[in-house]
Structure 1
């Protein structure tokens, strides 16, 4: 025969309070597993260093084998700044400004004409290195590139391989630009990157 259990309001409040405390303990335990501090040595990180990298970025828009292709055309009523045009690129990164100089890596990303007032690009790219001790490592750069300014600055926002936890900046200077015909460009990058 079933017994009827009578619970007072005080007992109900006590049980409710205990269950609530227990669930908070479980949530706190879950948060600890989700986010916790880690000693950098656990990841093999030693002393942070500053590295300077100088290389040349080759944007080839014209010809039979372009490295930059338009993926979005601006509307027909667009401004003189080409606002809205977007290009995807896989550009050579070389040791010198000559396109035949030693290949150090590839710049892979996109740029979009992002201003209605002047020719300014929103640039997002990974520098994927294929030579030397940084082979297989990447640096990620992003920022606004007002291409007619003598020197522009982009942010280093991350990296992989030997550039894990990378941060820094790049000074960007156009070496050559064929504005009237091909729009091909050679750009010097001086990158200052903090990494482990």
Structure 2
């Protein structure tokens, strides 16, 4: 292509790209950014009539037992309630559905992929999405919030976790969540 033609095409391409970009932004007004703080408890139970986490895959010849619930390579599917208080009988405010994959060879560490849907209060029907490493044997840890839906559309943030109760024999875990979410109204 000669220089004259190139000089004619470049401004047209630039105009085309700017038009596409400006039209894309015009249709997606996000509104004002907001910060929300949430506090709730995650109530996991691996045993009983209604377990909230179920082992669905493990490497061949891997033993999963009360003393080692998360050896390298195991996968759990979660459908776990979120409650207002530490007592498992306190008001349910949401549900976590997702996966935990044991990805630590040298120490117990899960990769946690889950949707936290809220079923009460002003956030009913909204959710946050978590994708983060979760070193479950550490009492205090942090997870990344990478998205959301409903009132938490375009969410990002973090969840500070504190394990309040863990019993390997009964396979019950209660984790306190203090969550900070940046999102748009």
TM-score (norm 2): 0.83
DSSP-derived class of the 1:159 partner: strand
**Number of residue pairs aligned between Structure 1 and Structure 2:** 179
Distance in structure 2 (CA, Å) of the matches to 1:113 and 1:34: 43
Distance in structure 2 (CA, Å) of the matches to 1:78 and 1:24: 65
Confirm or deny that 1:71 pairs with 2:56. Answer: yes
After TM superposition, give the deviation of residue 19 of structure 1 in Å. Answer: 9.4
Confirm or deny that 1:123 pairs with 2:112. Answer: yes
After TM superposition, give the deviation of residue 107 of structure 1 in Å. Answer: 0.7
After TM superposition, give the deviation of residue 39 of structure 1 in Å. Answer: 5.7
Distance in structure 1 (CA, Å) of the matches to 2:26 and 2:19: 15
1:58 is aligned, of 39, 43, 48, to 43
Distance in structure 2 (CA, Å) of the matches to 1:28 and 1:117: 55
Rg (Cα) greater in structure: 1
Distance in structure 1 (CA, Å) of the matches to 2:120 and 2:13: 50
Confirm or deny that 1:45 pairs with 2:31. Answer: yes
What do you get for the CA RMSD once the two structures are aligned? 2.8
Runs of 4+ in 1 over 4 A off after TM superposition: 16-24, 31-34, 77-81
DSSP-derived class of the 2:25 partner: coil
DSSP-derived class of the 1:38 partner: helix
After TM superposition, give the deviation of residue 34 of structure 1 in Å. Answer: 5.1
Distance in structure 2 (CA, Å) of the matches to 1:157 and 1:77: 32
1:74-89 matches, cutoff 5 A:
74-76=59-61, 82-89=71-78
Stretches of structure 2 that go unaligned for 5 or more consecutive residues are: none
- Considering Cα pairs closer than 8 Å and 6+ residues apart, tell me whether 1 or 2 has the greater RCO: 2
DSSP-derived class of the 1:89 partner: strand
Q: Do the aligned partners of 2:62 and 2:71 also contact (CA within 8 Å) in 1? A: no
Greater strand content: 2
